[in-house]
Each structure stands twice: as structure tokens, then as C-alpha cells.
């Protein structure tokens, strides 16, 4: 049913229609509205599921591991510090090959503590063995969960659906929540590949030494490669069943014949597309390549989307997370994806790649700033690595303090003090 | 033909042999139909108290649940020696996830069973003292607080034995471990406040809490069985000597465990809710030195000179336990509910009278 609905609520109602049998949750902003809504649906009898209020995210992931191994369809949701706190169990769920589905309401990681959106949390778990899908809109966030359960269960591998905290979780948008019969037709009952059953006892989670560990890890990678085939298939099936495009590996926008292509993930894609339209009006041949799947990393789909013959001259990667001491996480993956068959990372004809770190800790990524930055990129003046809207004067002031005084104090608090000193008062 | 009169106490253990009991009262381990939950071929050390305790406890649970049991195991010796890939000694559905999460995993298993309407299948989670007292404590408390339908069994050998005998929150004062070495003016583990998880369990008000040792295996069987009479969270804390970590003879595992109780250092009791309902009486109180002398981890208390000051503090701890749980008091004659509630296995205290 089409309605105006908060993103979290849309996800909760859609997850409920996927009939999870066990839901575990520990509250963390900005994931809370999702699990509150699911808890209410269970409590008032609208959803027949066991809902466990656990004492930590580590416990949440652990409980869904146990439930999934017992043959239940399982769901949890978290964000930020919570994802890090459960990290050991996140790896474990994937290592055991359990098809858990989890929403990550993307949020920055502290310190400094920050509740607002970026992709630091999910990116930190990029090699945990989970499939990672990033939603552009509330509608897609909801839809991706239906696809995620199917994908997870077909592969026996967990899937993380990433949706930008607040920007998607708390925004009220128009979304179509599928009816129960439609979801039932798309998502069959869960048939576990492995299950704890007294009638047929198996040991799960045995110690594996050097004689077989590599092979078990090889199989984890194979599941990811299989996912590269399945994700587009499931998105196509979803389109046939529900009549809208959601999911898939990549989402190109005006890339045909583009000289400049912006690569990004998540809700920022909307603003980027608007900016690209503006650039096109300016006469700059710009396009966008949205990545829906970050794990597996869709290298071939990216190469195809960028055109094997005529590639854009320049790529700008919007990084919603920072890899200190290295730069951009997506950029590194993209460079590897564009390598030639011999593994040369910068073959002739490959684009110049610029990394732009943007929107950390909820800093708005505005069309104005994007337009300015991309115009610079089109004119060849964008450096290989930069920050969007970095307040250089604040950073420089702190650097000066550090140079001047040994005991310069906590940087974050110093910067905040500087900010309040320069901020306009209540009278503006 | 020479003959010998079989005396009731000839083993020195005061335990009655099964052959003296009617068949329906014999131990589960004496039954040809026992589940052999942890079957032969595992790689535990000689004299491993944990392997012994796990076999008795889980076979008793298997009988109580008519074979419908799922076990969750924390990382540790029990996990490692039972499942070197691709071998497994477990003849039950068994899941190992992580070191610190066994209680939460078990909650998930129980929730999945409840969601599927399969509540006839019961869940046991088990771990060592490190996985329980230390790293798993938060998950365990969550399990207790929610009163999820799980029996959690802690096999307490008082240190991180799997990683090479490092101190845990359950390591007793003065004991030598790899991280509390027997060097310096105060060798061994410091005197702390201790962390009594059975009492912590009782503070949660869970339906059933009990302690046991591998010295009294009938009592262990009884308590594992009794635990299955309850729904909700249950906690069983079993003292399991570790010859490797304690520096005791593998042949003395049972004896060391018995001295732990007879000295008062390890009180054996059971509780329902927050009330202790019974405690195993000490028949012949022994000084703590009888217990300490058998273990190389306490050798520094006797050589090069006897540390009477440290031994006195340990004895005071044992005396506090004896007073607190009334371990030397005459048992209340009306307090034989164990036997009334569970016809088999019978508690051997009945045989002593």
C-alpha cells in the first residue's frame, strides 16, 4: 500500500511481512524506530515472532546466531557503536553461514561521539563476510529487506541492509509497503541448509586448523561470487513481482557518453543526481554510478556500466567514510575493479580518480557544494584527495595550538570552543 | 577361595556403588541406554574434571528430556578437545559460536524453538569459568534477567586452562597461574573479593541454581535432572579440577574435588529462587591444607617456608562458607525433598544414614 511513512516504519512493516520468527534488538540511535515498531507489531499480535530484548548488540547478534542455527528466519538491526560492539559475532554469523538479515542505520563512529549519518560503521565490517546492500531511498530500504531474506537464505549467508541514519530512517517519504500475499509469493518459507535438530544431530562451529581453514574461507568468497549473479536476478524478479526497480548491483544514471562520473552509495545519490542534472544543463557531460552492492564488490558490473570501450575521463568518488592514513575505502576498491586482465591498476584509457570525503558525522552534502566541487573536477582542478566543505580554519587553529603547547588538551573540545567563540549569537 | 568382605566405605569416598542399588535407582552412567552425549575419542587430558562433569551432566539432561536437547558451547577446553575438525565427540545437536556469547546464543536457540512450538526440545549452554564468570557475564546476566528457558552449566576449573592456565575471575586467592606467578613477596593470585556466580544467579531470582563437584557424581546427575523440572533460566556451577592447571595428579581429580567440599572451600548447595533449599553437609571437616597440599599451584604456600598467614586467610574463607551455608549443621530430617522429588538418581546422602 502506497503511503507517506517514516523510513524506519516502512522497513519495520516490510520486515514484518517477511515473517521473521526471531527478532533480537538492542536500542541504538538511529535504529530505534525500526525495532520499536517491530516490537509493537509482535506485542499486539500482528506479527507472530519471538522478540528478544537483549542486553547488548553482542548479545543481539549472538541470539540470532542461535536462532538461525535452530532453523528460524532471524532479523536484527543496529548502527554505529552497536555494530562495532557486535563485530565479533558479525564475523561469526558469516563464518557459520547463517542467513541473518540485519539493518544498519548508518551512523558515524566515535570518538568524538556523534549520532549522525555517515558510512564508517558498515564500512568497518566490509570484510566480515556479510553481503552489504545500500539503500538510496526509504522505498528501496524497505524493498531491499525482502530481497535480502531471499538472497541470504538462498546462499546461506548473512545480509546487511544499510540505510542512512536519520536521512532515511527518520525521513517521512512516500513508500509502497507490499501486501502480505505479494511478499509470500516472492519469499518462500526458510529451508535451512544446516539446523540443530535432536532427530539428526550435527556439530556446528568445530575448530578448523590449517588443513582446511583456507578452503572454508574460499567457500565464503565463492558465496559472494554467487551473490554477484543472484543479486541482479533477485532484483529482476522483484521488478516482475512488485513493478519497481529496487536493488541490483549498480545503478547508472546518465552515464552514457559521460566524461565525468560520480560514484556514491546511499541516500546522497539523490542530491548527486540533481547536481548532475544541473551540470548537464551547464554543458558538462556528467553522470552517476550508484553502488547498491558494496559486498560483493561488483567489479564487472562497474566496468560494464562505465563502458568497456569509451570510459569517462574522470571519476569522482564520494566517500561517506574515511580511512585515516589511506584515504577512501570505495576508491581503493574502485581502482582494483578498473584494473585490466593482467592486473595493471592504471591501464591506458582508465579515468583519473578523485576521492572526496563528504558528509562525515552528518555534515550535510549540499547541491551547492557538490556543484562547485564537480565543476572543478570537470575543469581538472580537483585534487586526487579532498574533503567537501572542510572548515580548514578550525583544523588549522587546532594544529597551531598543538605546535605551540605540549598540553594542548582534547582536540574535539578545543575545536568546539573555537566554534562557539566565532558562532553568531542568538541575535544572529 | 580367598574372599574379601566388601565394606561400604572401602573406596574412601563414602560413595555407594551402583551394584548396591536397585536398578531403577542406579546412576545414568551405569545404564547401557545412556546417551553418551560426549562420547569417547575426545582429546581431554588424563584426569580432566570437565570432561567427566560434562558427560555426567549432559547424559542426565538427555535422560530427563528423552533425548531432546540442543547444546550450545562457549569457546574453551570443552569445545576444543571435543571437536577437532572434522571429528566431533558430540552425539547431540551442538553449536559453538564464540567465547563470550554462549548464554545469548542459547537464548536464541530457545526463542527459535518457542517460535516453532517445539518446547519439548530443551536447551543447555555450557562453558568454563572464563567464558562464564568473566567474558560471558553480561550475556549470562541477560539470560537470567529475561528468564529464558535455558540451563547454563559452568564447569569451573578456576583459570583459563585452554590458553595455558591464566588467571580468571574464578581463580582463588594465592593460586599460582601463568599470569599470577609464584614469585615475589606475595606469590600467586591476590586476595580479591571473589565473584560468586551462583549467588549472582540467585540474586536474579531464577527458578533453580545449584553447585556440584565431580566428587559427587550422583549429586551432579541429580542436579542436572532436577534443573530440567523447571522452565526458565537455571544455573549449575560444577567444580571440575584440572590436573594440568592445578598441578594435581590425574588420579586425584575426584579426591581433590572432594577435599574442596570437605574443607568448606567449595560449598555444594541448591537454591530455588533466591532461597537456598539444601546444602551438602560436611561429614569430616578437613583443614584447607589437606586440599592445598595436593596441588602444585599452592606449592609456594609450603616451600621454602610454610605461609601460615596466607593459609590462615584461606582457612578463614572456608570457615565463612561453612557458617554461611550451615555446612556442619545436622540436616533437617524433613529436608529430604531431593529424594521425594526425583526417585532416581537418588542422592547418596540417603545411603549414608
Model pLDDT for residues A264-273, shown as the tens digit of each residue: 999 999 999 9
Split at pLDDT 50, 70, 90, the class of B336 is very low
Residue A128 sits at the chain B interface (C-beta within 8 Å): no
- State the total domains in chain A: 3
CB pair distance less than 8 Å for B95 and A52:
no
CB-CB neighbors (< 8 A) of B116 in chain A = 21, 70-72
Which of A183, A211, A242 is where one domain is finished? Answer: A242
Mean pLDDT of chain B: 90
Distance from CA of A180 to the nearest CA of B (A): 19
Q: Is residue A428 part of a domain?
A: no
What integer is the mean pLDDT of B57-75?
A: 97
- Percent of chain A's residues with pLDDT above 70: 97
Residue A204 sits at the chain B interface (C-beta within 8 Å): yes
pLDDT for res B7 = 52
A351 and A402 belong to one structural domain: no
Q: Is residue B352 part of a domain?
A: no
Rounded Cα distance between B20 and B10, Å, is 13
CB A375 within 8 A of CB A284: yes
CB pair distance less than 8 Å for A209 and B85:
yes
Rounded Cα distance between B290 and B295, Å, is 10
Q: What range does the domain containing B154 cover?
A: 25-331
Q: Is residue B142 part of a domain?
A: yes
Q: Taken in order A167, A172, A176, A180, is the CA torsion positive or negative? A: positive
Nearest of B44, B21, B3 to residue B245 by alpha carbon: B44
CB-CB neighbors (< 8 A) of A48 in chain B = 115
Q: Is residue B78 part of a domain?
A: yes
- Angle at which helices A299-306 and A329-337 pack, to 10 degrees? 70
CB A146 within 8 A of CB A186: yes
CB-CB neighbours of B117 under 10 Å: 7
Residues in chain B: 353
Residue of A nearest to B97 (CA): A205
Q: Is residue A396 part of a domain?
A: yes
Residue A206 sits at the chain B interface (C-beta within 8 Å): yes
CB pair distance less than 8 Å for B109 and A196:
yes
Q: Measuring CA to CA, how many Å separate A44 from each of A262, B225, B253? A: 46, 36, 54
Rounded Cα distance between A245 and A228, Å, is 17
CB pair distance less than 8 Å for A203 and B79:
no
Nearest of B196, B155, B161, B140 to residue B38 by alpha carbon: B155
Q: Is residue B323 part of a domain?
A: yes
Split at pLDDT 50, 70, 90, the class of B13 is low
Q: Is residue A258 part of a domain?
A: yes
CB pair distance less than 8 Å for B105 and A209:
no
A217 and A295 belong to one structural domain: no
A254 and A238 belong to one structural domain: no
Q: Cell numbers for A17, please give them.
A: 511481512
Q: Is residue A427 part of a domain?
A: no
- Angle at which helices A138-155 and A213-242 pack, to 10 degrees? 130
Q: Cell numbers for A205, please give them.
A: 562451529
Pick the range with the lowest mean pLDDT from A322-326, A350-354, B61-65, B348-352: B348-352
Split at pLDDT 50, 70, 90, the class of B351 is very low
Split at pLDDT 50, 70, 90, the class of B345 is very low
What integer is the mean pLDDT of B87-101?
A: 97
A307 and A196 belong to one structural domain: no
A72 and A129 belong to one structural domain: yes
Nearest of B131, B338, B326 to residue B237 by alpha carbon: B131
CB-CB neighbours of B164 under 10 Å: 12
Q: Is residue A169 part of a domain?
A: yes
Q: Is residue A378 part of a domain?
A: yes
Q: Measuring CA to CA, how many Å separate A409 from each of A391, A398, A413? A: 20, 10, 8
CATH at residue B50: 3.40.50.970
pLDDT for res B2 = 66
- Whether pLDDT at A296 is above 50: yes
What integer is the mean pLDDT of B1-25?
A: 61
What are the φ and ψ backbone dihedral angles of B323, each rounded to 5 degrees? -70, -45
A28 and A177 belong to one structural domain: yes
CB pair distance less than 8 Å for B104 and A198:
no
Residue A24 sits at the chain B interface (C-beta within 8 Å): yes
Q: Cell numbers for A101, please give them.
A: 538479515
Size of interface A-B (CB pairs under 8 A): 161
In this predicted model, which residue has the larger pLDDT, A313 or B19? A313
Query: pLDDT tens digits, residue range B127-186?
Result: 999 999 999 999 999 999 999 999 999 999 999 999 999 999 999 999 999 999 999 999
What integer is the mean pLDDT of A342-351?
A: 75
CB pair distance less than 8 Å for B97 and A49:
no
The sheet carrying A159-164 orders its strands as A50-53, A22-25, A74-78, A101-106, A159-164, A131-134, A293-295
pLDDT for res B349 = 41
Q: Is residue B10 part of a domain?
A: no
- Angle at which helices A32-43 and A7-17 pack, to 10 degrees? 40
pLDDT for res A428 = 44
Nearest of A134, A191, A200 to residue A168 by alpha carbon: A134
Rounded Cα distance between A319 and B228, Å, is 54
pLDDT for res A273 = 98
CB-CB neighbors (< 8 A) of A204 in chain B = 94-96
pLDDT for res B339 = 40
Rounded Cα distance between B138 and B143, Å, is 9
Pick the range with the lowest mean pLDDT from A38-42, A344-348, B343-347: B343-347
CB pair distance less than 8 Å for A202 and B94:
yes
CB pair distance less than 8 Å for B109 and A54:
no
Query: pLDDT tens digits, residue range A178-188?
Result: 999 999 999 99
Q: Is residue B148 part of a domain?
A: yes
Q: Measuring CA to CA, how many Å separate A109 from each of A78, A301, B256? A: 13, 30, 50
pLDDT for res B338 = 43
A187 and A284 belong to one structural domain: no
Q: Is residue A46 part of a domain?
A: yes
CB A166 within 8 A of CB A363: no
CB pair distance less than 8 Å for A50 and B91:
no
- State the total domains in chain B: 1
Instruction: State whether residue A349 is helix, strand or coil.
Output: coil
Rounded Cα distance between A139 and A119, Å, is 19
Q: Is residue B29 part of a domain?
A: yes
pLDDT for res B86 = 83
Q: Cell numbers for A355, please give them.
A: 576521492
Query: pLDDT tens digits, residue range B309-325?
Result: 999 999 999 999 999 99
Nearest of A310, A377, A300 to residue A338 by alpha carbon: A300
Split at pLDDT 50, 70, 90, the class of B16 is low
CB-CB neighbors (< 8 A) of B144 in chain A = none
CATH at residue A10: 3.40.50.970
CB pair distance less than 8 Å for A59 and B145:
no
A17 and A125 belong to one structural domain: yes
CATH at residue A351: 3.40.50.920
CB A380 within 8 A of CB A374: no
Residue B96 sits at the chain A interface (C-beta within 8 Å): yes
Alpha carbon B95 to its chain's center? 21
Rounded Cα distance between B94 and B23, Å, is 31
What integer is the mean pLDDT of A368-379?
A: 98
The residues that bridge with A132 in the sheet, in sequence order, are: A160, A295
pLDDT for res B17 = 61
Pick the range with the lowest mean pLDDT from A52-66, A95-109, A309-323, B120-134: A309-323
Instruction: State whether residue B347 is helix, strand or coil.
Output: coil
Alpha carbon B257 to its chain's center? 10
Q: Measuring CA to CA, how many Å separate A41 from each of A35, A45, A161, A369? A: 10, 6, 21, 42
- Whether pLDDT at A390 is above 90: yes
Give Cβ neighbours of residue B117 (< 8 Å, ≥ 6 apart): none
ipTM score above 0.90: yes
CB-CB neighbours of B67 under 10 Å: 16
Q: Is residue A182 part of a domain?
A: yes
A375 and A402 belong to one structural domain: no
Nearest of A289, A283, A280, A344 to residue A311 by alpha carbon: A289
Residue among A50, A54, A202 minimizing CB distance to B93: A202
Q: Cell numbers for A216, please give them.
A: 572454508
Rounded Cα distance between A294 and A302, Å, is 11
Distance from CA of A73 to the nearest CA of B (A): 9
- Percent of chain A's residues with pLDDT above 90: 93
A211 and A294 belong to one structural domain: no
- Whether pLDDT at B211 is above 60: yes
- Whether pLDDT at B340 is above 90: no
Burial class (CB in 10 A: 0-12, 13-18, 19+), B305: exposed
Residue B81 sits at the chain A interface (C-beta within 8 Å): no
A24 and A144 belong to one structural domain: yes
A134 and A36 belong to one structural domain: yes
Pure H helices in chain B: 49-64, 77-82, 102-115, 129, 137-146, 197-203, 217-227, 243-246, 253-262, 288-292, 308-325, 337-341, 349-352
pLDDT for res A425 = 58
Give Cβ neighbours of residue B345 (< 8 Å, ≥ 6 apart): B25, B26, B27, B28, B60, B218, B221, B222, B225
The residues that bridge with A315 in the sheet, in sequence order, are: A261, A353
What integer is the mean pLDDT of B113-118?
A: 96
CB pair distance less than 8 Å for B112 and A204:
no
**Quick one: CA torsion of B275, B276, B277, B281, rounded to 10 degrees?**
-170
Residue B95 sits at the chain A interface (C-beta within 8 Å): yes
- Whether pLDDT at B342 is above 80: no
Q: What range does the domain containing A397 cover?
A: 392-422
Amino acid at each position: 500500500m502506497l503511503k507517506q511513512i517514516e523510513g524506519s516504519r516502512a522497513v519495520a512493516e516490510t520486515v514484518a511481512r517477511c515473517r521473521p520468527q526471531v527478532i533480537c534488538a538492542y536500542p541504538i540511535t538511529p535504529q530505534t524506530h525500526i525495532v520499536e515498531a517491530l516490537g509493537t507489531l509482535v506485542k499486539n499480535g500482528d506479527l507472530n515472532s519471538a522478540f528478544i530484548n537483549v542486553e547488548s548488540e553482542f548479545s543481539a547478534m549472538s541470539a540470532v546466531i542461535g536462532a538461525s542455527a535452530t532453523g528460524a528466519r532471524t532479523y536484527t538491526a543496529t548502527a554505529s557503536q552497536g555494530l562495532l560492539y557486535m563485530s565479533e559475532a558479525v564475523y561469526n554469523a558469516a563464518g557459520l553461514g547463517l542467513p541473518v538479515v540485519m539493518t544498519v542505520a548508518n551512523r558515524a563512529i566515535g570518538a568524538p561521539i556523534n549520532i549522525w549519518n555517515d558510512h564508517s560503521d558498515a564500512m568497518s565490517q566490509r570484510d566480515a563476510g556479510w553481503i552489504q546492500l545500500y539503500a538510496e531511498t526509504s522505498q528501496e530500504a524497505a524493498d531491499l529487506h525482502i530481497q535480502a531474506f531471499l538472497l541470504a537464505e538462498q546462499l546461506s549467508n548473512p545480509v546487511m541492509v544499510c540505510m542512512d541514519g536519520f536521512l532515511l530512517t527518520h525521513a517521512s517519504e512516500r513508500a509502497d509497503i507490499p501486501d502480505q500475499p505479494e511478499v509470500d509469493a516472492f519469499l518462500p518459507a526458510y529451508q535451512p541448509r544446516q539446523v540443530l535438530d535432536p532427530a539428526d544431530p550435527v556439530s556446528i562451529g568445530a575448530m578448523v586448523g590449517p588443513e582446511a581453514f583456507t578452503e572454508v574461507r574460499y567457500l565464503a568468497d565463492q558465496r559472494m561470487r554467487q551473490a554477484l549473479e543472484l543479486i541482479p536476478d533477485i532484483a529482476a524478479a522483484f521488478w516482475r513481482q512488485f513493478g519497481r526497480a529496487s536493488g541490483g548491483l549498480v545503478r547508472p544514471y546518465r552515464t552514457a557518453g559521460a566524461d565525468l562520473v560520480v560514484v556514491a552509495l546511499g541516500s546522497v545519490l539523490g542530491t548527486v543526481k540533481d547536481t548532475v542534472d544541473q551540470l548537464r544543463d551547464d554543458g558538462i557531460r556528467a553522470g552517476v554510478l550508484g553502488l547498491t552492492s558494496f559486498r560483493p564488490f561488483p567489479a564487472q558490473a562497474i566496468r560494464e556500466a562505465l563502458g568497456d570501450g569509451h570510459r569517462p575521463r574522470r571519476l569522482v568518488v564520494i566517500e561517506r567514510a574515511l580511512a585515516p592514513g589511506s584515504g577512501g575505502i570505495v576508491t581503493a576498491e574502485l581502482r582494483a575493479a578498473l584494473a585490466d586482465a593482467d592486473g595493471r591498476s592504471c591501464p591506458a584509457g582508465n579515468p583519473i580518480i578523485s576521492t572526496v570525503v563528504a558528509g562525515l558525522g552528518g555534515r550535510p552534502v549540499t547541491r551547492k557544494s557538490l556543484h562547485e566541487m564537480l565543476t572543478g573536477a570537470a575543469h581538472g582542478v580537483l585534487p586526487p584527495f579532498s574533503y567537501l566543505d572542510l572548515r580548514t580554519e578550525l583544523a588549522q587553529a587546532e594544529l597551531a595550538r598543538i605546535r605551540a603547547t605540549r598540553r594542548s588538551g582534547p582536540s574535539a573540545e578545543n575545536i568546539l570552543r573555537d566554534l562557539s567563540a566565532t558562532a553568531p549569537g542568538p541575535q544572529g | 577361595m580367598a574372599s574379601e568382605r566388601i565394606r561400604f566405605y572401602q573406596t574412601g569416598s563414602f560413595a555407594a556403588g551402583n551394584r548396591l542399588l536397585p536398578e531403577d535407582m542406579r546412576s545414568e552412567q551405569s545404564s547401557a541406554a545412556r546417551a553418551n552425549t560426549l562420547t569417547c575419542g575426545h582429546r581431554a587430558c588424563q584426569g580432566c574434571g570437565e570432561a567427566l562433569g560434562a558427560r555426567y551432566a549432559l547424559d542426565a539432561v538427555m535422560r530427563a528430556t528423552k533425548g531432546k536437547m540442543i547444546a550450545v558451547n562457549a569457546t574453551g577446553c570443552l569445545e576444543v578437545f571435543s571437536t577437532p575438525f572434522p571429528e566431533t565427540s558430540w552425539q547431540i545437536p551442538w553449536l559453538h559460536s564464540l567465547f563470550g556469547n554462549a548464554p545469548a546464543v542459547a537464548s536464541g536457540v530457545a526463542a527459535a524453538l518457542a517460535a516453532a512450538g517445539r518446547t519439548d526440545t530443551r536447551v543447555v549452554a555450557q562453558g568454563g569459568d572464563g567464558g562464564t564468570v568473566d567474558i560471558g557475564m553480561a550475556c549470562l546476566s541477560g539470560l537470567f534477567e529475561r528468564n529464558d528457558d535455558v540451563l547454563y552449566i559452568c564447569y569451573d576449573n578456576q583459570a583459563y586452562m585452554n590458553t595455558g592456565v591464566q588467571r580468571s575471575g574464578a581463580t582463588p586467592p594465592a593460586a599460582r597461574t601463568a599470569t599470577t606467578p609464584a614469585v615475589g613477596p606475595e606469590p600467586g593470585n591476590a586476595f580479591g573479593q571473589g565473584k560468586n556466580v551462583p549467588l549472582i544467579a540467585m540474586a536474579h531470582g531464577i527458578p533453580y541454581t545449584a553447585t556440584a563437584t565431580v566428587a559427587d557424581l550422583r549429586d551432579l546427575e541429580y542436579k542436572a535432572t532436577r534443573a530440567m523440572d523447571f522452565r526458565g533460566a537455571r544455573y549449575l556451577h560444577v567444580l571440575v579440577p584440572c590436573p594440568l592447571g592445578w598441578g594435581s595428579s590425574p588420579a586425584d581429580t575426584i579426591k581433590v574435588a572432594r577435599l574442596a567440599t570437605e574443607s568448606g572451600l567449595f560449598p555444594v548447595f541448591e537454591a530455588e529462587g533466591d532461597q537456598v533449599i539444601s546444602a551438602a553437609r560436611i561429614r569430616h571437616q578437613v583443614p584447607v591444607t589437606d586440599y592445598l597440599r595436593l596441588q602444585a599451584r599452592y606449592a609456594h604456600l609450603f616451600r621454602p617456608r610454610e605461609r601460615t598467614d596466607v593459609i590462615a586467610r584461606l582457612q578463614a574463607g572456608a570457615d565463612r562458607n561453612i557458617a554461611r551455608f550451615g555446612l556442619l549443621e545436622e540436616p533437617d530430617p524433613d529436608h529430604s525433598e531431593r529424594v521425594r522429588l526425583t526417585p532416581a538418581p537418588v542422592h547418596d546422602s540417603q545411603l549414608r544414614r
